[in-house]
Structure 1
Amino acid sequence: MRRICLTLPTNRACTAMIRAIGAEAAHAAEHFDVEVHLLVLDSCTAPVFAEHARALGELPPVPHVVVHHLDEAAQRDFLRRVVGDAGVTKPELVLDLMLPAETSYGACTNRAFLIAAALGCRSVHRRDSDSRYQTLGGAPVFPIHHELRSLGKRAGDAAPGVSRDALDPRHAHKPVAMVGSSFVGELSVDVAEIHRADPAVYADVVGLWAPGDWSAQARQQLVDESFRGAGTEPFRRDHSVLTLVDPMRVDMCNISFHQVHERVPLPPATNTIGSDYFLIHLVHDATLPGVLHNRNIVNFHTGERRTGPGFLAYQTRFAKFFLSMLYFNFVYDRMARADQALLDDDQQVRAAAIAGFVRESTELDPAENVRRLDVLDASYRQLGGKYAAFADALAPRRDRLLHEARQDMADFALLIEAWAALVAASRAAGPQWSAPQPDRARR
């Protein structure tokens, strides 16, 4: 029986999603020969953590489902031991990159990757707290159904289990490294208000994540596709495709990885939307097979992003996303050119090559990012109101944000270089945290 890790990182109250992912874990254990480790990484306040613990404790007992609910203190204790055992250079910096004081979409998932290794899980299946499952005939539609049918299999062996095989036969011997889908509902980034206010400004802003040398036509096509997921079409029947999965067709709220996450981590950048999407691009560019299915998750936005300090924080993350793209577009281009050379003889990603591309990106001229900030400033001032107020707040931070965007990539390169040792140390350490309570451990 193989072990899998179904994980939910959260920093907000989400008891409904916790109950729902508990049902997904039960579905996996009941329909597949797996032991499911349901891992909730909880950065919430003590009262909300207690609510989540109660919700987990009330899940119906299911054989072969084990729940792990870790607050940040437990995560930090585990990471400190692992970083020490790994013998990495700059251990305190590595610890900070794994559990920073500020919000990091990549770091929370990296913690799940290491804890999964400690649990003996070779695959990680991630969901988000601001989402829910679609239903068909009143029953939830769980993505893990497709993930466990294909993930980790030799692509040629996975082909009979999908609706369509669109994979070039030359990749049939490689393992299926990723199975994922997208979302329906609200845009993945909370920018619909900008589109309603001024579609032209929306196009100028969203187009900032394109490479600086793209044509106006290519940039507009990116704008038209960005952040929309699978649109609004509800689930009616299953469909899955074995292919090299287009990164624009999957989302990190609905994703699973096999082995690739043990070779390369996610960027640990703080306060940066989209910093957790790197592996989706890597799987595609390294010509690793994947399965794209249509069990899309329903995305929604919580209210704290739209008013007061929450708006300022969210828009800062959005601005840093644009600045990060100077570097990521460069790295993606290098990875695409490398193609299958990114894989070793065992069809595993060459982490050293990725680290090299990331380090090379830190030498780029930041002039393109200066232009991005100029466009963002002008666009938000044109929108007026709270957007103009954000532009005022952003102006004195420009130099610092430009520096942070470059430093984030240097930190990412360092973490890639340390990653193999961290994964090995995690696997050797095992689950060194408090065992699940009897009412939450179900074997």
Structure 2
Amino acid sequence: MRSICLTLPTNRHCPDTITALGAEAAHAADHFDIDVHLLVLDSCPAEDRAAHADALRLLPDHPRITVHHLDEAAQRDFLTRVTARSGSTKPGLLLDLMLPDGLSYGACTNRAFLIAAALGCESVHRRDSDSRYQSMDGCTVFPVHHELLSLGARAADAVPHVTESTLTGALLERRVAMVGSSFVGELSVDIARIRDADPDVYRDVVSLWAPEDWSAERKHALVEESFTGAGTEPFAADHALLTVVDPMRVDMCNIAFHGATVAERVPLPPARDTIGSDYFLIHLVHDARLPGVLHNRNIVNYHTGERRTGPGFLAYQTRFAKFLLSMLYFHFVYDRMAEAGDALLDEHGRARPGAVAALARESTGLDTGENVRRLDALDTAYRRLGGRYADVADHLAGRRAHLLDEARDDMADFALLTEAWEGMVTAARATPVELPEGQPR
């Protein structure tokens, strides 16, 4: 019987989300011949962790669901043992990249990848704490249903389980590496208030994540599409498309990756305090022409209050600025991956970490002039907005050189982690996951 890892990384109070995740795990176990490891990676303060533990204890017992609730101390213990066994000459650096002192969207998911490998799981199914499931006719619409119908199967064998397919020829012999959908509700990046305050400034700001040499028309199209997900239309009926999935059509709050093909081969960039750093594998799957399923069980996205007031607002806007700077390097890597195509895969149809690491390392030699101009444009836009956005501009101006260096160094860290990833996955498979005292089961 195969095992899967349904995971929720969180740094915020979310017992209701955990309860809903438990219901999704039960749906998976009741409808498929699988064991479910429900993994909550908890970076919250003690009071919130206790509330999460209570929510997990209240989940109905199920013979094929095992709950793992790991605080950062337990995660660090596991990762310390993994990095020591990985064969790397820099285990301390790898540990810092896996559990950094600061927020990292990529690192929290990388931890789930390694723990899933340790638990013997074939796939990782990720959800976010600031989202919730849709329902129809009183029934919750769980994405895991589509994920388990196809993920890891030969694409040709997945055809009966989808509504339609665009794949032909040799692509049908490859494994389904990713199944995902998007979201409805609020923008995925919390910048709607910029749009409401000044649509022209919004267009100027959002266009900064495009390559500098794009035409005005392409940038305009990107702005119109960016961060909107699947819009606001509620779920009405299932639809699933077997295809090479467009990265703009899926979101990391609603995604599943096959381990042996992708997640155990290449990690996510571990950049700190950078929005969007966890979307890399979506692009890799696309550029390598690995099959995927795009379904429409979209998750409802919403934003929590800490991003909009006081220090939380400044921190979030800084993460957004770092996202814009990261795109200089990511666009370079994405373009080269698109050119490489099938060369990104080995003879078994699995992602080649060496090819990805080489491109990431090459990108660190790029001239930073484009990013200097990005910061100039962002400064102008935020000062035009005034108020607390002007305060953000002041903050970014004071860290200008540091931000430019960080964006480059983040890619160097990604290259290093990718080079070490196979050894870390192998070590994880031989490393038991030790649960803190008081685990419910």
Q: Which position in structure 2 is the counterpart of 1:394? A: 396
| Map 1:273-312 → 2, pairs under 5 A | 273-312=275-314
Query: Within the alignment, does 1:263 sit opposite 2:258 as a pair?
Result: no
Alignment RMSD, CA only? 0.9
Contact 2:178–2:293 at 8 Å: present in 1 too? yes
How far does residue 431 in structure 1 lie from its aligned partner after superposition? 2.3
Q: Distance in 2 between matches of 1:429 and 1:403?
A: 35
Q: Which position in structure 2 is the counterpart of 1:184? A: 184
How far does residue 139 in structure 1 lie from its aligned partner after superposition? 1.4
Q: Which position in structure 1 is the counterpart of 2:232? A: 232
Contact 1:126–1:253 at 8 Å: present in 2 too? yes
Find the residue that maps to 1:30 and give its secondary structure. Answer: helix
Match of 1:432 among 422, 431, 434: 434
Q: Distance in 2 between matches of 1:372 and 1:256?
A: 33
Point out the more displaced range, 118-127 or 164-173: 164-173
| Map 1:23-102 → 2, pairs under 5 A | 23-102=23-102
How far does residue 168 in structure 1 lie from its aligned partner after superposition? 2.7
Q: Distance in 2 between matches of 1:169 and 1:198?
A: 49
Q: Distance in 1 between matches of 2:10 and 2:344?
A: 33
- For 1:182, the aligned partner's letter is S
Q: Distance in 2 between matches of 1:391 and 1:224?
A: 25
How far does residue 392 in structure 1 lie from its aligned partner after superposition? 1.1
Match of 2:378 among 361, 376, 379: 376
Give per-residue Cα distances to partners, 1:93-125, cap 9 Å, x unaligned.
Answer: 110000001000000000000000000001000
- For 1:60, the aligned partner's letter is P
- For 1:206, the aligned partner's letter is V
Q: Which position in structure 1 is the counterpart of 2:156? A: 156
How far does residue 166 in structure 1 lie from its aligned partner after superposition? 1.2
Point out the more displaced range, 34-43 or 87-96: 87-96
- For 1:151, the aligned partner's letter is L
Give per-residue Cα distances to partners, 1:66-111, cap 9 Å, x unaligned.
Answer: 0000000000000000000112121111100000010000000000
Contact 2:254–2:299 at 8 Å: present in 1 too? yes
Give per-residue Cα distances to partners, 1:181-233, cap 9 Å, x unaligned.
Answer: 00000000001000011111101100000011100000110000000000000
Q: Aligned residue pairs: how many?
A: 439
Contact 1:68–1:436 at 8 Å: present in 2 too? no
How far does residue 389 in structure 1 lie from its aligned partner after superposition? 1.1
Query: Within the alignment, does 1:317 sit opposite 2:326 as a pair?
Result: no
Match of 1:326 among 325, 328, 351: 328
How far does residue 430 in structure 1 lie from its aligned partner after superposition? 3.0
Point out the more displaced range, 426-435 or 187-196: 426-435
Q: Distance in 2 between matches of 1:173 and 1:432?
A: 38
Contact 2:5–2:116 at 8 Å: present in 1 too? yes
The share of aligned pairs that are identical, in percent, is: 70
TM-score normalised to structure 2 length = 0.99
Contact 2:177–2:258 at 8 Å: present in 1 too? yes
- In the alignment, structure 1 segments of 5+ residues that lack a partner are none
How far does residue 369 in structure 1 lie from its aligned partner after superposition? 0.2
Q: Distance in 2 between matches of 1:142 and 1:23?
A: 9
Q: Distance in 1 between matches of 2:190 and 2:117?
A: 33
TM-score normalised to structure 1 length = 0.98
How far does residue 170 in structure 1 lie from its aligned partner after superposition? 2.4
Stretches of 4+ moved more than 4 A in 1?
none
How far does residue 436 in structure 1 lie from its aligned partner after superposition? 7.4
How far does residue 61 in structure 1 lie from its aligned partner after superposition? 1.1
Q: Which position in structure 1 is the counterpart of 2:134? A: 134
Contact 1:188–1:299 at 8 Å: present in 2 too? yes
Give per-residue Cα distances to partners, 1:38-72, cap 9 Å, x unaligned.
Answer: 00000000011000000000001122000000000
- For 1:215, the aligned partner's letter is S
Find the residue that maps to 1:268 and give its secondary structure. Answer: coil
Find the residue that maps to 1:418 and give its secondary structure. Answer: helix
- In the alignment, structure 2 segments of 5+ residues that lack a partner are none
Find the residue that maps to 2:5 and give its secondary structure. Answer: strand
Q: Which position in structure 2 is the counterpart of 1:17? A: 17
- For 1:3, the aligned partner's letter is S
- For 1:317, the aligned partner's letter is R
How far does residue 350 in structure 1 lie from its aligned partner after superposition? 1.0
Find the residue that maps to 1:263 and give its secondary structure. Answer: coil
